């Protein structure tokens, strides 16, 4: 890892939308039009290319977004020679995808992503205001904890990792770092979801649990990142908890006790 950058003075040029529009017509990322141009890729593959307009140090970043389904898009980040044309890159991408993003055992090497090989995670690219070099923030795929971040830089020396940002080095979840009263509330709130035995292949209940667990971790480590507006009002939540408590044996007293605190 590099250690010659002491300060991150940057602004976002491409990043995930907060509205979660993944997979809707290739709009899963927002890109600064002065830095990236949006190109339709191969229609058969459902790809969109976010093409860096001006190459730096003889190289160009290309973010490939593959429209997958209602679940979102898949992302790959390539670093290519500035002379490579969009038409040639499209063929190179198809070759890499057919090979499962692995170099063949024999034959000529193929162009592979530098990070994110068809990942659900959305890349974030930053630009250093002093040097103009681009930084790539590899955030990892979210599940039920905050994944570590890898910060890469693309400069005259090539593509290299500057540092790693680890949010839970001891492996604990965010709710484990909350005060006892909050942990008790979290357990009680989790009870409202039920076991989810009959969710089928989509595993709706487990998906909610994963998102809640991730939210607790973000609340513990990066509370300023919780910017989404709640889907339900306080009145709706109270009404739902009351209905659940009245239909669950032994629970109303616990609900009233929590409300009185």
| pLDDT at residue 112 greater than cutoff 50 | yes
pLDDT at 142: 62
Let me know if residue 198 belongs to a domain: yes
Residues 160 and 45 in one domain: yes
**Which tens digits make up the pLDDT trace of 84-100?**
888 888 888 888 888 88
How far are the Cα atoms of 50, 147, 167, 188, 246 from residue 233, in angstroms, in the given order?
38, 30, 30, 19, 20
The whole-number average pLDDT for the span 62-83 is 84
| pLDDT at residue 65 greater than cutoff 80 | yes
Let me know if residue 42 belongs to a domain: yes
Residues 93 and 74 in one domain: yes
Cα angle: 198, vertex 203, 205; to 5 degrees: 80
The whole-number average pLDDT for the span 24-39 is 72
E runs forming strands in 17-88: 29-31, 36-40, 47-52, 59-69, 72-81
The whole-number average pLDDT for the span 138-158 is 76
pLDDT at 180: 92
The whole-number average pLDDT for the span 110-132 is 82
Let me know if residue 191 belongs to a domain: yes
How many structural domains are present in the chain? 2
* Under 8 Å between Cβ of 170 and 188: no
* Under 8 Å between Cβ of 1 and 162: yes
pLDDT at 72: 74
Residues 104 and 201 in one domain: no
Structure pTM? 0.69
CA–centroid distance for 86 within its chain: 26
Residues 160 and 178 in one domain: no
**Which tens digits make up the pLDDT trace of 205-225?**
888 888 888 888 888 878 887
d(CA 245, CA 44): 51
Residues 130 and 14 in one domain: yes
| pLDDT at residue 248 greater than cutoff 80 | no
Residues 64 and 161 in one domain: yes
pLDDT at 28: 67
Residues 152 and 212 in one domain: no
Let me know if residue 5 belongs to a domain: no
Question: The domain containing residue 206 runs over which residues?
Answer: 174-259
pLDDT at 11: 36
Last residue of some domain: 165, 192, 217? 165
């Amino acid at each position: 890892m590099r250690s010659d950058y002491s300060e991150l003075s940057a602004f976002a040029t491409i990043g995930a939308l907060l509205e979660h529009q993944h997979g809707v017509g290739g709009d899963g990322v927002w890109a600064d039009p002065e830095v990236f141009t949006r190109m339709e890729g191969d229609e058969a593959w459902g790809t969109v290319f976010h093409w860096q307009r001006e190459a730096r140090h003889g190289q160009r970043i290309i973010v490939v977004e593959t429209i997958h389904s209602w679940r979102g898009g898949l992302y790959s980040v390539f670093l290519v020679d500035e002379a490579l044309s969009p038409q040639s890159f499209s063929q190179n991408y198809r070759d890499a995808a057919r090979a499962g993003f692995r170099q063949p055992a024999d034959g000529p090497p193929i162009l592979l992503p530098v990070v994110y090989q068809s990942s659900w995670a959305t890349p974030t690219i930053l630009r250093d205001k002093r040097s103009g070099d681009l930084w790539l923030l590899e955030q990892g795929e979210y599940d039920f904890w905050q994944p570590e971040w890898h910060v890469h830089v693309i400069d005259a020396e090539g593509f290299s990792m500057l540092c790693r940002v680890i949010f839970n080095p001891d492996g604990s979840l965010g709710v484990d770092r909350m005060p006892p009263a909050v942990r008790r509330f979290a357990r009680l709130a989790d009870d409202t979801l039920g076991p989810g035995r009959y969710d089928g292949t989509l595993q709706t209940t487990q998906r909610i649990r994963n998102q809640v667990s991730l939210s607790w971790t973000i609340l513990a480590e990066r509370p300023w990142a919780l910017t989404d507006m709640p889907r339900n009002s306080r009145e709706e939540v109270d009404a739902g908890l009351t209905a659940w408590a009245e239909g669950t044996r032994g629970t109303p007293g616990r609900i009233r006790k929590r409300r009185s605190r």
